[in-house]
Structure 1
């Protein structure tokens, strides 16, 4: 789940200071679940912008905003409004906002801040879980991510700075490597910690990344 949260009213108004007519877009998936860009949030944004003197020409929750073909198709429902609008406020994540910008001509502004890939602990409570590093380490760390959960991103831990099982960096976070150790011990797999791992190959996470399954299938067929 991509976790996002609303930008401040002041920042959004700053984006729109030279724009009068606005369209608001959201996303039916991640942004809806984390209460940043669903129907309710779009309606709240509409009421807020109208109170600030903006004219909201239309609003739509896209399914999903990061799907380019679906987004382009869905935006056709607002074809006339898009020809008239000055700007679009996107309440989707950063990925969805960029997708909307590719599919529509008007200036697109983000109405949310994209925070992290994480899990939903309960409604309104989220925790970062994955940095999309391009080379998953969960197979030998008892499914506890050292890249995300360790503040130092250590691949060979622990660092030795933890106190009372808490990370020395702060924020009250549990030490990732103590968590990994205890879980591996319960699973009878402590030998996993005895192997010295190669430094993380961050070339696999060079931005921007791209995956083309069609090309991959062609290469497999040729082989």
Structure 2
């Protein structure tokens, strides 16, 4: 799930300073679960914009605004001076495909998260493009080790706690405990290739 936080209201208002007739687009998926883009969040920011003197022409909470088909279906007949998007960057750029109106993001995406419960999220996946969890008992050393060590522990852990962050468990202590007696770590893991591109900084259309 894409974890998002709302931008500070002054920043949002500054981005909207040259526009009126604001249409707010929310997200019924990730942003709703984060309580940053659902019905309540849309209602709250609408009230804040009106207090600031902005005209809000309407709003819609899309099932998945990051799906161009959904954005096209739900927004094709909407006329607005500017769209304020309560969703991640993928949602903003999906809406960009279906309107020529200016777009303003209201949220900042911070990481891909695993949900423990509402309000508590764990950054367990770095979207590295080369998943190694089969060899580590389902625990990712890239995100859960403070040093992102992939070939074993650093040796600095104390009582199973990370030397860099004593409040956190040592990822490799967790891996060793999870895989104990299963023979997983006895298997040879070839050196990890860091040549594999992550496609950061350029657009790529991917067909799965």
Q: Does 1:29 align with 2:22?
A: no
Describe how 1:1-223 pairs up with structure 2 within 5 A: 1-78=1-78, 81-82=79-80, 85=81, 87-170=82-165, 172-185=167-180, 187-192=182-187, 195=188, 197-207=190-200, 208=202, 209-213=204-208
| TM-score, with length taken from structure 1 | 0.85
Kindly indicate whether the alpha-carbon contact (under 8 Å) linking 2:86 and 2:107 is maintained by their aligned counterparts in 1.
Answer: yes
C-alpha distance after superposition, 1:52-78 (max 9, x if no partner): 000001111112111012111210242
C-alpha distance after superposition, 1:104-158 (max 9, x if no partner): 2111111111011111111211111211111111111000011111122221121
| TM-score, with length taken from structure 2 | 0.91
Which consecutive unaligned segments of at least 5 residues does structure 2 have? none
SS in 1 for 2:148: coil
Q: Which runs of 4+ in 1 moved over 6 A?
A: none
Which consecutive unaligned segments of at least 5 residues does structure 1 have? 214-223
Q: Report the Cα offset of residue 162 of structure 1.
A: 2.1
Number of aligned positions between the proteins = 206
**Aligned equivalents of 2:152, 2:143: Cα separation in 1:** 13
**Aligned equivalents of 2:42, 2:35: Cα separation in 1:** 10
Q: Report the Cα offset of residue 33 of structure 1.
A: 1.2
Kindly indicate whether the alpha-carbon contact (under 8 Å) linking 1:31 and 1:38 is maintained by their aligned counterparts in 2.
Answer: yes
Q: Report the Cα offset of residue 98 of structure 1.
A: 1.6
**Aligned equivalents of 2:159, 2:14: Cα separation in 1:** 46
